[in-house]
Chains A and B, each alone.
Chain A
Amino acid sequence: MAIAYDIALMHTEPEVDSGAPVVAVEDVRKAFAGHTVLDGINLHVTRGETLAVLGRSGTGKSVLLRLIIGLETPDSGSICIHDQDIAGLVLDRMGEIRKKMGFLFQHAALYDSLTVAENVAFPLEHHRRDMSRSDRVDRVMQLLAEVGMEGAVDKMPSDISGGMQKRVGLARALALEPEILLLDEPTAGLDPISSGEIDELILKLQRERRMASIVVTHDLHSAKMIANSLALLDQGKVVIEGRFEDLQQSDIGFVKEFLKQS
C-alpha cells in the first residue's frame, strides 16, 4: 500500500517554473538575545516549487518561516516576495502581501473560541467582504472537503485531534487562494498514517494550485515525497541545498550523519 502510494506520488510531481523567484531570501541574519539563530541564509523558491527546510531542533527553521511572513524582522539581509522587499513595511501594507500567503502553524493555532467552519471562514469574512453569506458557506465547505474535514464543521478545535487541527489549519491557510504556502512542521506529532495523509494532501494541493511552498520539517521521508528541493540547516547556515539525490551524494559529514539518523 505504501509502495503504491509512493509510486503514485512520484508520477505526479508538480511542475516547477524556472522564472523569477516568488520568495527570495538574501543573506538573512537573525539573533535573539545575542544568540545567532540564522547566519546568512540564502534561499529562492519559484512558482510550483516546494522547498523542504530540514535541520536539527533550534536551528532556526521556524524562525525562517516567521521572517518570510513578516512576523519577525531580520537583523540584516532582505526577504523579497514577488520582488517586493518586506523589510520595514507597515502592518497594513504587509497585510496586502500576506493575502498572497498561507501559513500553517506548527500547532495549527486555530481560534479556540470559533468552530472549525468559523475558523476557515475567518479570513474570508475579513478579506472577501463582497462575498455573500451563501457563497462563503459554499467556499468553506469546499475547503473543508478538500482537506477531508467536512464532517467536523460545527466542532470546536478542542474537540478534534492534532492531525485534524492541522487539516483545518491548512484549509484556513488556503482560504484566500495563496500563491505562497508556508508549512511549519505539518506532520510533527502525527502517527505515520496521518502524516502520510497530510503529505498526500499537500502534494495534491501543489499539483492543483502550483503554489510556491516552503515546508519546515524534521521528517526526511515526508520531505523527500513532497519537496522538489531540500535545504539542510545547521548552526544558522544552509549546509546544502538541492535534490534528495544531491544530499545522498554529499561528502559533508553533517549531511551524512543527518541522513543516517533519519
Chain B
Amino acid sequence: MRKDLDYAFESRAAWNRPVFRPGFHLSTEEQSNPTEPGPKKEIPGEIVPVPEGPPAVGKECIQWRVGRRVLSRFVDTASIRTKQLNDREPIVVAGNHPPFAEQRTVSIPSALDYVGRTTNEFFVWFGDLGIFAWNVLRAALTPPYEWRELIRQLDEVGSMSLPLVAAAGAAIGVVISMEARYSLSRFGAKSMFPTTLVYSVIQVMGPIMTGLIVSGRVGAGIGAELASMKVTEQIDAIEASAINPYRLLAATRILACILMLPLLTLAADASGLLMGWFAQALVEPLSFHQFIASGFKGATFNDFLPPTFKTAVYGLIIGLIACFQGMRTRGGAEGVGRAATNSVVLASLFVILADVVLVKFILVVFP
C-alpha cells in the first residue's frame, strides 16, 4: 500500500514521458514531433483522443497510476528493442497511453478479417506445399540421382526406427490380446481370438500406429534438421554449390519414408502378433502354429497387402510435410522448434485423415 502511494504521488511529468510500444500509435502531438529517428509507418486504425488525466481521487486514481507505472516499465524495455531494430524495420509505434482501453489507439481486426486472413493463409500453405511437391517430383525424376544420400536416409528412417516400432507393435499386440480375450469370452466367441488378433493388428493397428510413430520420430527429426540447416544458411550453401536441395535433401528423405514405412509396418505387425500370441499363451495353452493357422484361415492377399502398402502413402505425407516445414523455416532457434513441432503435428494429423480415405478406398477397390 505504501508503495502504491509512492507511485501515486510521483510527479505526473515523469509518467508522461514518451515511450515506445508496439501495437500503439503516436498521439497526434507526438506524430508531428517524433522523439526517435526513423521512417514513420502508416498504420490503419483510429486515433482516439487521450483524456486530460487520471481519475481525480480515490482508489481508482491509485490504480490508474500504479497501472501506468507498470506499463511504463514494460514499454521502456520495448523501446530499447525497437531502437535496436530501427535499422531493419520502420519504427512501429509510440505513445504515452494510460492502461485503459478507451484511451488507447486501437486497431481491432474484425472477426471477418480474422477468418479471411486465416483462410487465406490456409490456401497459401497448401499452394506452397503443392509447388514444393512439384519441385521435389521434378528433381527426383531427373538425374543425377543421389543414391548415397538415399541409402543414408533409408538407414536413418528404417533401421533407426525399427526398435521403437517393434516395441510399440509388441505393446499393441499384448493390449489387443487382453481386450479381445475378455470381449470374446463375454460373447462366447473365444475361438475367434486368433482371427480377431490377426485382423486387428494387421489391418488396423499396425499401419496407423507405425504411421504415427514414424511421424513423431522421423517427422520431428527431418523437420528440425532441415530447419536448422535453413537458418544457418547451409541449404543456401548447397544451392550455391550448384546442387539442387530438393533433390539432395527432400527427394531422398521422402523416398526413404515411402520405402521404409511398409517394411516397418511389417515389423510392427510381426511383433504385435508374436506378443499377442505370447500374452494369450500365458493364460491358456495355445501353440504358435495353431494360432497362425487359425488366425490366417481363409485370408487372402487382399486382406493384408493393401493395409500394409497404404503406409507408403503415410510415408509420402510424413516426408513431404516434414521437408516442407523444415525448408521454409525462418527465425532462428524459435523457428527450428516451430518447424519440428509443426512437422509432427501436421504429419500426424494428415496421416489420420489419410487413413480415413484409404480405408474407404481399400474397401471399395479390394472388397
Question: Which A residues lie at the B interface, using CB under 8 A?
Answer: 35, 57-58, 66, 69-71, 91-92, 95-99, 101, 103, 105, 107, 109-112, 122-123, 126-127, 129, 172, 176
Contact = CB atoms under 8 A, between A and B. Distances in A.
A105 B241 CA distance: 12
Interface in B113-164: 135, 139, 142, 144
B121 to A, nearest CB: 16
Contacts of A95: 242-244
B232 A98 contact: no
Q: What 9 A-B pairs are tightest by C-beta distance, nearest first? A: A98-B242, A109-B233, A109-B237, A95-B242, A103-B240, A123-B241, A99-B242, A58-B87, A126-B243
Nearest to A71: B236
A129 B148 CA distance: 12
Given A57-B87, A58-B87, A111 B242 contact: no
Interface in B161-210: none
A111 B240 contact: no
B10 interface: no
B43 to A, nearest CB: 13
Given A69-B240, A103-B240, A122-B241, A91 B246 contact: yes
B46 interface: no
Nearest to A96: B242
A13 B241 CA distance: 28
Given A58-B88, A91-B135, A107 B242 contact: no
Nearest to A95: B242
A109 B234 contact: yes
Interface in B83-106: 87-90
20 contacts: A35-B89, A35-B90, A58-B87, A58-B88, A71-B236, A71-B239, A91-B135, A91-B246, A92-B244, A98-B240, A98-B242, A105-B236, A107-B232, A109-B234, A110-B234, A111-B234, A111-B237, A112-B232, A122-B241, A123-B243
Given A109-B234, A112-B234, A129 B240 contact: no
Interface string B219-240: 0000000000100111011011
A57 B86 CA distance: 11
A109 B236 contact: yes
Contacts of B233: 105, 107, 109
Interface of B: 87-90, 135, 139, 142, 144, 229, 232-234, 236-237, 239-244, 246, 248
B240 A71 contact: yes
Nearest to B236: A71
B250 to A, nearest CB: 12
Contacts of B232: 107, 109, 112
A157 to B, nearest CB: 10
A126 B144 CA distance: 9
Contacts of A97: 242
Nearest to B146: A126
A95 B246 CA distance: 13
B234 A123 contact: no
Nearest to B225: A113
A57 B87 CA distance: 8
B236 A129 contact: no
Contacts of B243: 95, 123, 126-127
A182 to B, nearest CB: 8
A96 B244 CA distance: 11
A44 to B, nearest CB: 22
A96 B241 CA distance: 10
Contacts of B244: 91-92, 95
Contacts of B142: 92
A182 B237 CA distance: 12
Contacts of A92: 142, 244
A214 B352 CA distance: 51
A172 B87 contact: no
A127 B146 CA distance: 12
A83 B242 CA distance: 19
A98 B144 contact: no
A112 to B, nearest CB: 7
B87 A126 contact: no
B105 to A, nearest CB: 22
Task: Determine which residue in A57, A70, A91, A127 has the highest number of CB atoms from chain B within 10 A of its CB, and name it.
Answer: A91
For B139, B242, B244, B248, which residue has the most chain A Cβ atoms within 10 angstroms? B242
A172 B241 contact: yes
Contact of B241 (A35, A58, A70, A126): A126
